[in-house]
Structure 1
Amino acid sequence: MIPILFGISLLIFFLFALMPGDYFSSNRRLSPQRLEELRALYGMNKPLIVRYFIWLKNVFHGDFGFSLQHMQPVTTLINQYIWNSFIVALATLFFTWTIALVIGIYSATKQYSIFDRLVTLGVFASLSVPSFFIGLLLIKLFGVDLHILPIGGMIDTGSTTTGLAYVLEVLRHMILPITVLTFLSVGSLTRYFRTGMLEVLRMDFIRTARAKGLKERTVIFRHALRNAILPAITLLAFELPGLFSGAIITEQIFSWPGIGRIQLDALSARDYPVLMTLTMLLAFLTILGNFLADVLYAAADPRIRLTKKEGG
């Protein structure tokens, strides 16, 4: 994991460093002389390789740079918003896997039934409907027409709640963003679970288990599920970074104070230290997801543990 992160950091730094323009060049009121002075002040006139090792050294000390747009350290800026995105992403991940697992298994065991056909229709709808459309539709329905849920923000305007009341208020505001993200993510995962279960249920060892007189529930959950879940585990490596990158539009729609808005602002202002830090964060989450997928593979499939022991 460490060599991969090192290679990614090298790639990310040089890609952003070679992009045309910077934060100062977007200000047309600066004279060429003042522009060069500011670049020299922040070390932007040094060779790329020197700038990279300076940046890497600072990263090892927990310093990811300074946001010129927000005039504060990048770590301080991101720390204000990252946890807001994390709670939405983790809640979405939990609901997505739970719903997809239940629906996928039941749909596979009831193949060609009305429920299975409705699930197939829902899967295609989940994969084809844009996030902004479903987000605005839910705002119109539950926020404007029914007045059941808040239409944006993390808390009510002017709210001074604390303790449990504050937690409940945040949870109310999370319902619509989580619903949108779950709806957009659950379709592909349900398809993986359903396809995996259908393939496993046709295998010889399932017929043997049924021939032994085992209960259908035992056959499905003890024998079939552990084999069917393996292809879906691979998706775990992309779920968390995918939720963060896919939540940019959703956070804009619901005015959720997460890192999605920070990414868009940094991109338009060419605030490269912020963009590099967020890109490194997504890369780290992807690598961490791959590591967790390997661990879950060994937990779900005893053959992998046996192979590792024999190899050792």
Structure 2
Amino acid sequence: MKKYVLKRFLQMIPILLGISLLIFFLFAMMPGDYFSSNRKLTPERLNELRALYGLNKPVIERYFIWLKNAFHGDFGFSLQHMLPVTTLINRYIWNSFIISFVALFFTWALALVIGVYSATKQYSFFDKLVTLGVFASLSVPSFFIGLMMIKFFGVDLHILPIGGMLDTGSNSVGFAYILEVLRHMIMPVAILTILSVGSLTRYFRTGMLDVLRMDFIRTARAKGLKERTVIFRHALRNALLPAITLLAFELPGLFSGAIITEQIFGWPGIGKIQLDALNARDYPVLMTLTMFLSFLTIFGNFLADVMYAAADPRIRIAKKE
């Protein structure tokens, strides 16, 4: 198992290098830059600023300069915010991490419970209700749900804050600060969970239905094992295998969904920074965030492979052969 994990980890390095090369060249080919959006600059001043920041050098040379700096933790300078990119992202990324990973936890927990129970009660009223809910969660856009939640819970009932991470003028510290952040997190996390739980529930339900029809489940029941033991010890482990592959897409998917959610609720996360950088053509910020999402996808694939190998030993045997 250790050799398999090490091998998969080492495979991530050339993939990341290839993606970094592709992303850098794609952004380099995009028309304009941060300076060209300023119409007040004369052509002479524009060329002077581009030379000052190394934008007049060949693309391949700029890439290796960027790569060398990236190995030292320097991902460029944000001209829009006049801050190093790492400093800027570090200010906001943890706020996005909070709601994304809390939503990921609730998504998997709810999808697992609902999917397994729905599969064991196939064609029941609960199963039909789950199917309806799955399609509803996949059909309704996040901004519509967000605005409706703000209207109902924030404006009408006044039980939840309608935006931000803290109350206006708040000086809370310690446990009071944590409680205040948690109150503001409820609606953003709820939206991200609603948007993701439907598709994952469908995978869990389908996986459980397929496994429950297999011969080894019939054998386990024929041996007189309790239904709870058959479901959770024998069926669930095998039903998890198809859902594990989704982990690679869940991590970057949550951050992508958080971009819209953060705009709706005014959550001070990385989504607003990304949209501002796109409007201002602040390419160092955009490139770093794109690399970050790419890393999450690759790391998610790595975690999925490790979890798959842990759940199904045949994967490790096949790799050795």
TM-score (norm 2): 0.95
- What is aligned with 1:176? 187
Distance 1:34 1:24 in 2: 10
Provide Cα deviations, 1:171-198, integer angstroms capped at 9, x if missing partner. Answer: 0000000000000000000000000000
Paired AA for residue 207 in structure 1: R
Paired AA for residue 128 in structure 1: S
Provide Cα deviations, 1:67-96, integer angstroms capped at 9, x if missing partner. Answer: 000001000000000000001111010000
Provide Cα deviations, 1:45-78, integer angstroms capped at 9, x if missing partner. Answer: 0000111111111101110000000001000000
Matching of residue 192 in structure 1 with residue 188 in structure 2: no
- What is aligned with 1:59? 70
1:251-290 → structure 2 map (5 Å cutoff): 251-290=262-301
2:106 to 79, 92, 95: 95
1:13 to 24, 43, 57: 24
Paired AA for residue 91 in structure 1: V
Partner SS, residue 64 of structure 1: coil
Q: Moved runs in structure 1, 4+ residues, more than 2 A?
A: 302-308
1:43 to 39, 54, 66: 54
Distance 1:255 1:179 in 2: 15
Partner SS, residue 180 of structure 1: helix
Distance 1:145 1:240 in 2: 34
Residue 228 of structure 1, CA deviation: 0.6
Matching of residue 227 in structure 1 with residue 217 in structure 2: no
Matching of residue 126 in structure 1 with residue 137 in structure 2: yes
Residue 295 of structure 1, CA deviation: 1.1
Provide Cα deviations, 1:105-161, integer angstroms capped at 9, x if missing partner. Answer: 000000000000000000000100000000001001100000000000000000000
- What is aligned with 2:9? none
Distance 1:270 1:186 in 2: 34
Distance 1:225 1:186 in 2: 18
Paired AA for residue 181 in structure 1: L
Distance 1:118 1:208 in 2: 31
- What is aligned with 1:30? 41
- What is aligned with 2:97? 86
- What is aligned with 2:4? none
Residue 307 of structure 1, CA deviation: 4.1
Partner SS, residue 251 of structure 2: helix
Paired AA for residue 229 in structure 2: T
- What is aligned with 2:312? 301
Paired AA for residue 83 in structure 1: W
Which consecutive unaligned segments of at least 5 residues does structure 1 have?
none
Paired AA for residue 244 in structure 2: I
Residue 246 of structure 1, CA deviation: 1.3
Distance 2:303 2:66 in 1: 29
1:72 to 83, 99, 110: 83
Paired AA for residue 47 in structure 1: P
TM-score (norm 1): 0.98
1:208 to 219, 232, 237: 219
Which consecutive unaligned segments of at least 5 residues does structure 2 have?
1-11
Distance 1:240 1:146 in 2: 33
Aligned length: 310
2:177 to 155, 163, 166: 166
Identity across matched positions, percent:
84
Distance 1:306 1:41 in 2: 55
Partner SS, residue 38 of structure 1: helix
Distance 1:306 1:272 in 2: 45
Distance 1:36 1:307 in 2: 57
Partner SS, residue 75 of structure 2: coil
- What is aligned with 1:156? 167
Paired AA for residue 25 in structure 1: S
1:109 to 109, 120, 125: 120
Residue 304 of structure 1, CA deviation: 2.7
Distance 1:247 1:28 in 2: 33
Residue 298 of structure 1, CA deviation: 1.7
RMSD: 0.9
Partner SS, residue 149 of structure 2: helix
